[in-house]
């Protein structure tokens, strides 16, 4: 027998969890009104938290059990080791996620300026072998995160 389950959403303002058939635009608890990123699914909220932990892991030890890789494009590498380290530091500390760079609330992409140069970072969620997208992206045992740091011209 197939069970029809509704997705569970999380209010970014009050952390209230609630089921809804369609993407909500208002929290039934605190009545905050917002867009999709203000009411991510529980899975997206988990992925966002894991992505934050992965980026912070560039500065401190990576969370136990989290598989992650960092890819630097040729354009980033060509700017030298000091620039690369500034990029890693900037990406790890980035918190300015907005509707423009993070419309769904997964905190997996942003554009920022490092030492006068515009860069992008993107986190993709692959299976354990990094061959396909993860079948269960919120499950750390089934997901390898790949953080790519690149120049806009390399996108």
Within 13 Å and on the Cβ side, how many CA atoms surround 85?
Answer: 3
Average pLDDT per block of 10 residues along the chain, 155 residues long: 79 95 95 93 95 91 83 98 97 93 92 97 96 96 96 95
At 65 the pLDDT is 80
At 59 the pLDDT is 84
φ, ψ of residue 122 to 5 degrees: the values are -140, 135
12 and 39 Cβ atoms separated by less than 8 Å: yes
At 26 the pLDDT is 97
Cα(88)–Cα(141) distance, rounded to whole angstroms?
25
Q: What is the DSSP string of 98-141?
A: -TTT-TTS---EEEEEETTEEEEEEEEEE-TTSSSB-SSTT-GG
At 60 the pLDDT is 80
Query: What does the block give as tokens for 94?
Result: 């980035």
């Amino acid at each position: 027998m197939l069970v029809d389950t509704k997705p569970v959403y999380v209010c970014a303002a009050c952390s209230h969890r609630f089921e809804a058939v369609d993407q909500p635009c208002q929290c039934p608890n605190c009545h905050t009104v917002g867009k999709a990123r203000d009411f991510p699914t529980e899975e997206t909220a988990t992925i966002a938290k894991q992505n934050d932990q992965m980026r912070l892991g560039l500065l401190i030890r990576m969370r136990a059990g989290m598989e992650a890789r960092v890819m630097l494009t040729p354009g980033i590498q060509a700017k030298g080791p000091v620039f690369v380290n500034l990029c890693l530091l900037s990406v790890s500390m980035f918190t300015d996620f907005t509707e423009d760079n993070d419309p769904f609330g997964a905190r997996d992409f942003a554009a920022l300026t490092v030492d006068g140069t515009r860069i992008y970072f993107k986190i993709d969620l692959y299976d354990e072998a990094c061959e396909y997208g993860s079948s269960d992206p919120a499950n750390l045992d089934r997901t390898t995160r790949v953080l790519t740091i690149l120049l806009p011209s390399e996108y």
